[in-house]
Amino acid sequence: MANANAQEVIDIDSDGSGDEEDSEFNTFESSAAYLKPSRSNFFARLNNTIKDDEGPNKIWVQTIDWMIKDNKANHRTDQYDNKRLILRRGKEFKMKLKLDKEFDPEKHSVVFTFYTGDKPAISKGTLCTLHESKKLDNKDWGFILDKHEGEEVTYSMMTPVSAPVGYYKVLIESICSVPDSPGSPNITKITCPEEIFVLFNCWCPEDSVFLDDEAQREEYVLNDTGLIWVGTHRDYEPIPWNFGQYEVCVLECAVYLLSNANLAVGARSDPVKLTRALSALVNSNDEGGMLWGRWTETYPPNSTDPTEWVGSVEILRQYLLNEEPVRYGQCWVFSGVLTTLLRCLGIPARCITNFESGHDTDCSYSIDCHYDVEGNPVDDLDDSIWNFHVWNEAWFKRHDLPPGYDGWQAVDATPQEASESIMRCGPCPVLAIKQGDVYLPYDTGFMFSEVNGDRVWWKVEKDGNMAVEYIDRNCIGKSISTKAVGSDEREDLTNFYKYPEDSKEEEEVVAKVSHFGSRKEWTVMRSNRDIEVDIGHETAIMGEEIKIPLKFTNTSSKSSRTVSLSAHIKCSAYTGRTDNKQPLIKTITNVLELSSNESDTLTISLLPDEYVKKIRAGSTLRMFLQLSVQETKQVYATQETFLVKKGTGVMVTCSKTNVKQYEEFDVTCTYTNTTSTKLTRSYFYLEGPGIRRSKKLYCGTVQPESTIERTLTLSAYRVGERVLFVKFCNSKIPNAIVKVKIHVEEAEPTEVI
């Protein structure tokens, strides 16, 4: 009798090492554990597979060969560490069966049934029974007989471009039809012991995620590392990020998340619905999501400061192993994780950084800021303006919208404001944000205010009354950034999100949006002034004097102006929030007399003793500047943020940069503390896609002006150019991270299982 548990002909270990890493494959390669018990009658058909005695009119499947190596290479999924077959939908693949007797096409045939989810049904698009076709069409499931020789039969098969993504189980029915024979046809059945996985396919023109540019497909789907921009619009820098979408735990985590989603299995065919679901599942605020957000100065024991992560993989691994939210993340972490999940599932995705990012809380599409009658900021009443905020873009067609909105869609997993009672945001077309189509789903109005909202300055009287004093139209949404295709350069996307400031098109968009805001009267006001202010910029280095030059110009051609000014400088989190318990670093007041067309410069100086002990880890300096003109009663107000750079101080050397698979090499990590503060509870964190699991090297305390060194032995199991991320982790030194490239050559096979 044929083996009831038919196996693949070849089952190759992902790294061939047979060490403790294989336990991770055994842990994560168990997607059946994520499938809910079925209530479908269809499973009675599956369970009725008891084999009778062999006979001349029965034919049994002995082995199933999914031809994994060739199919993965053809489908560009060979980098995935998972042992199963992983396909991109809408593309042909092959499989081979070995039978217990010679195949005769005149009397033998095969029927395949593919099904997914807990209640597979034809009506839901989650079950399909395939009979042999005359030709393949990527609009439907199908297979054709490719060739047969003796007991071996090879088939060409097709998944449709509309197939839901996820794991599929496969039932194979082998049929023997003998004319005039009692009991003919005889049918035997077997369920494949391993599932296959179906992904979106951006190489297929009929797929909703099709992207007609190979360089962009390489960058936004296949690239497992990247850069995320942080800082301020004056001083921005990229931090490396390990997306790691091919690691064994990532695909399994995506399945687990989707099993918890309030999303029908059939809806997984639609990138709009799937992306929206993931934007909620990445944060832990709803639906059993995976990552807690926390924006504080200190973090509890047994948690991770968001600045310490260097990639998504360890977050996904912890969540999958513990089945509880990981602590903690902030916007760039949420964005990095969502990019990993989308690329893993085949959806083109990238991280987007918006500097001076507005956060509207009342659907006014404006950002409210306040100051009192003496010119002091009233922070607790303000909407926030983040130094930077990171979200995502995903590429797909919008069949749910009128024509013209296909392409990049903005989506945000950071929990900010609820969307339909759940913490999620998007997807909304980037073009809709630019055109001010704030009535379109999903959350287009909120994202419009992030990049193009007006900052409305309110004067707060002593009795609590308020009045609008000034509206600044050109301060929100600066230097919108992403990693350039094929390089580590920054690509500026600002013109894709908004028309140039003060252009006719931008004025028309603002006028259109004003009709939908909750406070229409304020959004249409315009403020003219004849005092121009230019805030200069010099790089601020921790421990050195910081200079902020302010240039004031009287643009009036006839009259002189008397200008009263007040400037307040405080520490600020990158979210724009200042700590009311933190004392002011400095306050400056002055009166300037400016003749017509005259300019004058005032330089604010901060000495190290004034700010070093007050500035917090990860903080920036935020200056609030308020002016009033005596002659015209004009008011001008603005805020500006200054990043205080601390330097990375990290150096990494490798004993070898060209290695064979599984060959060990030494990595030496060095950190020099250039600050005047001793750094306690420090460690090096190492992680890289295709390299052995993440490692920590504890350093203890690093004294000022001292250097510490640690060495670790690693090996790599994935062929090609690999990137190793090394970060020095200490709460007082953010972004101390470097990356090292290592070329890994294929090792000779030592064992075939």
Query: Is the N-terminal amide bond of 299 cis, ω within 30° of 0?
Result: no
Angle between helices 504-514 and 444-452 (to 10 degrees): 140
DSSP H helices in 129-267: 214-217, 248-260
Contact (CB, 8 A) for 307 and 731: yes
Residue with tokens 């010679």, as numbered in its chain:
102
Selecting among 176, 202, 331, 571, the annotated active-site residue is 331
Give yes or no: 412 in active site. Answer: yes
- Cα–Cα distance measured from residue 501 to residue 537, given in angstroms and rounded to the nearest whole number: 21
Query: Is the N-terminal amide bond of 328 cis, ω within 30° of 0?
Result: yes
- Cα–Cα distance measured from residue 240 to residue 250, given in angstroms and rounded to the nearest whole number: 19
Which token pair is 56? 């001349």
Q: Which residues of 218-246 are buried (b: 16+ CB within 10 A; e: fewer)?
A: ebbbebbbbbbbbbbbbbbebbbbbbbbb
Q: How many CA atoms lie within 13 A of 725 on its CB side?
A: 29
Under DSSP, the state recorded for 574 is: T
Task: Please name which of 281, 534, 234 lies closest in space to residue 388, comparing C-alpha atoms.
Answer: 234
For the purposes of burial, counting CB atoms within 10 Å of the CB of 544, is it exposed (0-12), middle (13-18) or buried (19 or more)? middle
Selecting among 108, 233, 359, 389, the annotated active-site residue is 389
Contact (CB, 8 A) for 227 and 485: no
- Phi, psi (rounded to 5 degrees) for 276: -65, -40
Residues 6+ apart with CB under 8 A from 19: none
Contact (CB, 8 A) for 310 and 241: yes
- Cα–Cα distance measured from residue 46 to residue 38, given in angstroms and rounded to the nearest whole number: 12
Amino acid (1-letter code) at residue 25:
F
Task: Please name which of 195, 147, 144 lies closest in space to residue 171, comparing C-alpha atoms.
Answer: 195
Task: Please name which of 598, 592, 540, 594 lies closest in space to residue 569, comparing C-alpha atoms.
Answer: 540
- Cα–Cα distance measured from residue 529 to residue 547, given in angstroms and rounded to the nearest whole number: 26
- Cα–Cα distance measured from residue 28 to residue 283, given in angstroms and rounded to the nearest whole number: 21
Q: Which residues of 725-746 are buried (b: 16+ CB within 10 A; e: fewer)?
A: bbbbbbbbbbbbbbbbebebee
Residues belonging to the active site: 331, 389, 412
